[in-house]
Amino acid sequence: MTQDDAKRLVGEHGAEPIEPDMTVGLGTGTTATQFIRALGARNAQTKLNIRCVASSKASADLARSLGLDVVTLNELPRLDLYIDGADEVDSQLNLIKGGGGAHFREKIVASCSDQFVALVDSSKVVATLGKFPLPVEVVKMAYVPVQRKLDALGLNPVLRHEKGTDEPLLIDEDNYILDCHCGPISDLEAVSSEIRNIVGVIKHGLFLNMTSVCLVADDDGVVQLKVST
């Protein structure tokens, strides 16, 4: 099974438990896109009467194009469910997110949801988070001093650029992203706190103790992971 096939499969599985009249948070990225497409197809076949809040303009535009009812978080401040992909997930369902550049909004929508279901292919399941660069969203006017402080912590930050250009990537909130190539993170809480305490940081891409369930697609199908005890 290719990675694209796995994303499509887990996206379809993510859409299956959505029930009529639910309120659903829509994630951002390639796997979330497959989920949104599957949810749109389900809704077209069986009118679900669901309302959705999207974590990015791209996801909102896609959902609306598929006939889903998309409203703002201010209109719908509490959600039944948030479904999104992840760049890495460990055995405790801690995540690194933000490869798609939307982790600030994703974290907001996830925090307003009763349950967060992560969707990944098996390559994203790791023993220790950190091989994938950790995104840190920063205020544009202060990215250089923030970058220096992250570097002093040994996190090896690199400014993210628009693909194929030398221009910094400007995301939905008009901020920049510093990708920290920090390697395996032995103390997630400590790193989270150190980054969060830097003035000029908006949000980092560590999602700790937020995920309820993770659906993982591999060659044998889709399995459900829960926090190990």
124 is in an annotated binding site: yes
**Residue 214 contacts residue 225 (beta carbons within 8 Å):** yes
Confirm or deny that 30 is annotated as ligand binding: yes
| 45, burial (CB in 10 Å: exposed 0-12, middle 13-18, buried 19+) | exposed
Q: Which of 37, 67, 70, 39 is nearest to 55 (CA)?
A: 70
Exposed, middle or buried by CB within 10 Å (0-12, 13-18, 19+), for 113? buried
Establish whether 99 is an annotated binding residue. Answer: yes
According to the annotation, is 151 in a ligand binding site?
A: no
Q: Is 152 known as a binding-site position?
A: no
Q: Do 11 and 34 meet the contact criterion of CB atoms below 8 Å apart?
A: yes
Q: Which listed residue (106, 162, 167, 194) is catalytic?
A: 106
31 annotated as belonging to a binding site for a ligand = yes
Cα gap 110→25, rounded to integer Å: 7
- 46 is annotated as contributing to ligand binding: no
The helix or strand, by DSSP H or E, that contains position 53, with its residue range, turns out to be strand 51-54
Does 85 count as an annotated binding residue?
A: yes
Sheet hosting strand 176-180, strand order edge to edge: 157-159, 176-180, 134-138, 201-204
Q: Are 204 and 136 in contact (CB under 8 A)?
A: yes
Query: Is residue 87 annotated as involved in ligand binding?
Result: yes
Whether 106 is catalytic is yes
Q: Is 28 annotated as a binding residue?
A: yes
Binding site membership: which residues? Answer: 28-31, 84-87, 97-100, 124
- Which residue numbers belong to the known binding site for substrate? 28-31, 84-87, 97-100, 124
Residue numbers annotated as active site: 106
